[in-house]
Amino acid sequence: MRADLNTPWRIGSVEIPTRLVLAPMAGVSVQAFRRQGRRYGAGLVCSEMVSCAGLSHKNERTLGYLRIGRDEHPLAVQIFGSEPRVMAEAARMVEAAGADLVDINFGCPVRKVTKTGAGAGMLDEPGQAAAVVEAVAEAIDVPVCVKMRRGIANGSRKALEVGPRLVAAGAASLTLHPRSAQQMYTGIADHELTAELVELVDVPVVASGDITSRERAESVLLDTGCAAVMVGRAAQGNPWAVGEIAGLVDAHPSREEVVAELLLFMRDTVLEMGEQRATGFLKKFYGWYLGRGRFPKPFANELVRLATIDEVEDRLLAAAPGAGDVLARLEADLPALDDVVLDLPVSIYAGG
């Protein structure tokens, strides 16, 4: 028996066309990344986590995360914080920006987040966590989702205690990454815990963690009874992993395809955040795209040392001359850029 990843499912009123979700990842899940994920078969894409305090204070950089394109839908925008009133205010702004879902982060394991009581730290305060979900659910009309870890400590089963309370408070879906916050990304995701959570709640559960191939995705869907699987780190600089899981492409692209996708990603990122910000932001992506044996390691290191995006483009095209034709075909198939944003000053996008 095989699980069908290409059947639609729902979170509340929102229909999602495939069982594949592209994870919210800090410093990664920008608009260009999300658009790429949609092209490669992700049924739902998610923004990186957005600070509710930053939204509340109208911080320009934070408000810039609410840039949403028509080709991203359905889209979840993820917010984090620990104060119900402030989270509710942030959720209203996210809804006004055009998000289809508001996702609450109860899973971030990073110390600077958990020490404030936010992220995975909320799992140690079930009452407060439920209050946050209730406040957000009452403030908006779109469905509310929650992404969480299994708990703070290794072996914790806190998610099984907290999960049902969050659903009772108004969560329309739960995503579980069954590692502890202490584990960060080490060890193995324990999807037996995911199966237990599925049995406890009557809303869709999304399984996150170690979804790296179509075979693994199908196995987790069948073994846990979850509604969908979430792909995270496997997709960094590797949209072909998403496409392979979705059954759309081979997981082994040619050098020309790799360079063409990287160039398209670079250009979209420059449009999104301006060349100055994009130049630094993109450096980590060079190794992700060009690694995995696709190019010699020194080549990515060489790109990192180049001063401008134009220099990087020229060097990439010199290394894979046929990539220009592939890029032209990719760009010809793209929908016209048509962004929907809050009424914000252009300076947020550094002129982009």
Of 46, 52, 108, 226, which is the active-site residue?
108
The answer to whether 43 and 247 have CB atoms below 8 angstroms apart is no
Residues 25, 14: Cα–Cα separation, whole Å: 22
Say whether 108 is catalytic. yes
Among the listed residues 349, 350, 351, the one whose alpha carbon sits nearest the alpha carbon of residue 68: 349
Element (H, E) at 242: helix 239-246
Q: Which residue has 């992993």 as its token pair?
A: 241
The answer to whether 74 and 44 have CB atoms below 8 angstroms apart is yes
Residues 23, 287: Cα–Cα separation, whole Å: 20
pLDDT of residue 350: 28
Q: Which residues pair with 15 in a beta bridge?
A: 10
- Helical pair 297-305 and 283-290, crossing angle rounded to 10 deg: 160
pLDDT of residue 334: 84
pLDDT of residue 338: 54
pLDDT of residue 348: 30
The answer to whether 189 and 179 have CB atoms below 8 angstroms apart is yes
Average confidence (pLDDT) per 10 residues, the chain, 352 residues: 87 97 95 95 94 75 76 94 94 93 95 86 95 98 98 95 98 97 94 98 98 96 97 97 93 95 96 92 97 93 96 97 94 70 33 26
Provide the pairing of β-strand 228-231 with 205-208. Answer: parallel
